[in-house]
Structure 1
Amino acid sequence: MERRSFLKKAGVVAGTSALAACTAAVDKVAAGGAGGKVEWTLASSFPKNLDTIFGAADVFAKRVAELSNGNFIINVKAAGEIVPGPEVLNAVQNKTVQIGHTASYYFFGKDATFAFDTAVPFGMTSRQHTAWMLHGGGMELMRDFFKQYNVVNFLGGNTGTQMGGWYKKEIKTVEDLKGLKLRIGGFAGKVMAKMGVVPQQIPGGEIYTALEKGTIDGAEWVGPYDDEKLGFYKVAPNYYYPGWWEGGASLSFYVNQEEYAKLSDNYKAIIAAASMEAHTDMQAKYDAKNPGALANLINNGAKLQAFPKEVMEAAFKATKEVFAEEAASNANFKKILDNWLAFRHNEAQWFGLAEKSYSEFMTTNPWKPGA
């Protein structure tokens, strides 16, 4: 072969290879960066009929698909479709699924520290919790904790301050709590036990039947919108407030650490953005839907009552005792508690000044349509 001919052909081959490499690079960028098309499965801890709390995962998945031009797909599965709701953490840890949507305090039995990611008794409200996570060191502390479980956590919604639950009998004194079989999750169960309650861990879809059969004497879930759907008022009419154990219950997306590491920076940014959208959307939906649902419940016979001051004070005392006991034996818990308490104190002072006075005036001076 002549040298000139060889060089000419070599140039063509090199040019073709360069063009192919350039085209492949463009395709990768169009697909969201290194990694190209990605398809994951998300396991939720919630049933589909609870459309607001389960729906956060749908909002998240839809936004991920939109932001990636359809190249990053997340298939959402309800509790029980792949694993039961309480098994979501294990499923993400073990790569049964790449991502989960859950309430971290469900895993309180593994380590009480999980509860800080969702809610603890007499904890912060929705806005305060989000502020702690994003600007008070909470996310960094929880991320460090979750490394032990092969998980990268993201905010995944908030219910706002919850109701105190449904009871077959009225709660007038602390004595009325003793021996009461109550469906209650997370750290609150330990506090309630100190007050004489027998806490029960029951998935949301099984609570009504347990109340109807008398397996339990009372149950807490979230608030009016979900509670109306679940029909608790039919079998336990006494509806109490506030849910002092969940001042702002936050949900989370769990991503398997190894699977997350494989993603491009662009896809990681998409997960962060979509999770925040789902987080904000859930709270907005509950705030919009709860007032009408509460009115419906009262019209259908729910007896709305506030927990007596005696019960609230006893609960607060028990909470401080349980926190001290846990911190003395759990280094993970103690590490987060110190930061959390300082932030909670400052938030309580600020919200008590501006928000509380404004809210009280708004409540006592209603401004109805047409007025």
Structure 2
Amino acid sequence: MDRRKFMKSAGLAAGATAATASLAAPAISQGRQEWKIVTTWPKNFPGLGTGAQRFADSITAATDGRITVKLFAAGELVPPFESFDAVQNGTAEMYHGVDYYWQGKHPAFAFFGAVPLGLTAGEQDAWIQWGGGQELWDELSGQFNVKPFQCGNTGVQMGGWFRNEINTIEDLRGLKFRMPGLGGEALRQLGVSVINLPGGEIFQALQSGAIDGTEWVGPWNDLAFGFYKITKFYYYPGFHEPGPTLSVGLNKDIWDKLSDSDKAIVSGCARAENNHSYAEFMAKNGQALATLVNEHGVQLKKFSNEIFDAFGSASDEVVANVAQHDDLSKKIYDSYIAARKSGAGWTDISEQAYSLGRDRIIGKE
């Protein structure tokens, strides 16, 4: 080969390599990443879908776009109940959902979403953040290559929508009712035919008669789905989800590689959304309930003590059975029940006692 041609070719190649390196260097040096977050919620659904979007946007903003998070609603990238698998196998970096959806993988996941007759929102926060719950959650989720965070709470949920009045336990038997988690397992003990559906499929199932009734969240979300168009009997209180944690799971391989500052950003954004979400549900539920009753003719009903006691007996059995699954389940169960005992004692003489006293003096206004 001609020496001058060789040197010229080599020089051009070197120049091209240098140019390519100079173009790629900013992205590499700044450590830019693009994450996908998959959810179990319909796109932009009030409180649930919008909260997941708010969390995603907060990470993008807090890192000045260095970590850009793009949200995919239920079914856009994967089916809603496959969100956990997508994070575990790396199809997506994060999910936003409720961890009782994954109890088929391990029954103890239910404790980090909600269990019947369990912890209220404040009590759940206390257990996870100060009572050893986060460490147990990390241990459980870590077996599936996931790092979990609290990322929202709806507060005490409603008991559900029914086509007919529920006056006795017999009125429940044989009903086709949508309820996930251990609450659904408790209803099965009472003869209910329990069906688990993602939120986006509930209205159609009610409309077609595939289910006779459903629980979802509370007045704000239930109004948005329009359940009042089909059923008019709206029962309270819900026994099944007294303080359900909305959760985010991040692929653990990614979490382990983050800098301490980026870990602080992700966990801080999740904690902020946990607080923001609960406040939003508290603000919106009362207004929505008034709309349901006053504008749509919904009949608000309270479960009788007999029915609620039956819920309680079935729930105790179902929750206790989880402890028999393995040693970790027993450890989580013991920790949770201890937190419930401690939390309930304080709630009784603080928030509950105050609320009852306030109602006696000022009524419902």
When normalised by structure 2's length, the TM-score is 0.90
Counterpart selection for 1:321 from 317, 321, 326: 317
- The residue that corresponds to 2:336 in the other structure is 340
Q: Which runs of 5+ in 2 are unaligned?
A: 1-24
Query: Equivalent residue for 2:238?
Result: 243
SS state at 1:253 partner: strand
What secondary structure, in the 3-state scheme, does the structure 2 residue paired with 1:199 have? strand
Q: Which amino acid aligns with 1:328?
A: Q
Percent identity among equivalent residues?
Answer: 41
Counterpart among 39, 47, 58 of residue 44 in structure 1 = 39
Q: CA separation in 2, counterparts of 1:314 and 1:212?
A: 29
Structure 1 range deviating more: 171-180 or 44-53: 44-53
* CA apart distance, 1:367: 8.2
Matched residue of 1:40: which SS?
Answer: strand
Match of 1:116 among 77, 93, 111: 111
C-alpha contact (below 8 Å) 1:154/1:272 kept by paired residues: yes
- Spell out the pairing of 1:304-319 with structure 2 (5 A cutoff): 304-319=300-315
Equivalent of 1:101 in 86, 96, 103: 96
- Please list the CA deviations of residues 73-92 of structure 1 after superposition, one character each: whole Å capped at 9, or x if unmatched: 11111111101111110000
Helix, strand or coil for the counterpart of 1:259?
Answer: helix
Quote the residue 1:273 is aligned against.
268
Distance apart, 1:362 and its partner CA: 2.4
Q: Distance in 1 between matches of 2:290 and 2:221?
A: 13
Matched, 1:366 2:337: no
String of CA shifts for 1:232-266, please: whole Å, max 9, x gaps.
11111110001111000111110001111221111
What amino acid is the match of 2:224? K
1:159 aligns with 2:154: yes
Post-superposition Cα deviations, 1:150-174, rounded to whole Å, max 9, x if no partner, equal 1000111000000001000111011
Is the CA contact (8 Å cut-off) linking 2:182 and 2:318 kept in structure 1? no
Q: What value does the CA root-mean-square deviation take over the aligned residues?
A: 1.7
Alpha-carbon shift at residue 298 of structure 1 (Å)? 0.4
Residue 356 of structure 1 corresponds to 352
Give me the whole-angstrom Cα distance separating, in 2, the residues matched to 1:259 and 1:218: 41
Tell me the secondary structure at the aligned position of residue 47 of structure 2. Answer: helix
The 2-side partners of 1:315 and 1:344 are apart by 17
Moved more, 143-152 or 316-325: 316-325
Letter in 1 for 2:304: P
Q: CA deviation at 1:323?
A: 2.5
Matches within 5 A, 1:197-212: 197-212=192-207
2:154/2:217 contact within 8 Å kept: yes
1:190 to 185, 188, 191: 185
Letter in 1 for 2:334: D
**Paired residue type of 1:265:** D
Superposed CA deviations along residues 80-114 of structure 1, whole A, max 9, x for unmatched, are: 11011111100000000011111111112222101
Give the secondary-structure state (helix, strand or coil) at the position aligned to 1:69.
coil
1:89 to 77, 80, 84: 84
TM-score normalized with structure 1 length: 0.88
Q: Give the secondary structure class of the aligned counterpart of 2:324.
A: helix
The equivalent position to 1:232 in structure 2, one of 223, 227, 234, is: 227
Cα separation, 2, equivalents of 1:84 and 1:175: 36
Is the CA contact (8 Å cut-off) linking 1:108 and 1:114 kept in structure 2? yes
Assess if the C-alpha contact under 8 Å between 1:146 and 1:152 holds in 2. yes
1:150 aligns with 2:145: yes
Which residue in 1 is equivalent to 2:298? 302
User: How far off its partner does 1:51 sit?
Assistant: 2.2
Give 1:57 shift: 1.7
Q: Deviation at 1:189?
A: 1.1
Q: Is the 8 A contact 1:56 1:279 kept in 2?
A: no
d(CA) in 2 for partners of 1:302 and 1:214?
A: 19
Tell whether the 8 Å contact from 2:93 to 2:251 is kept in structure 1 after alignment.
yes
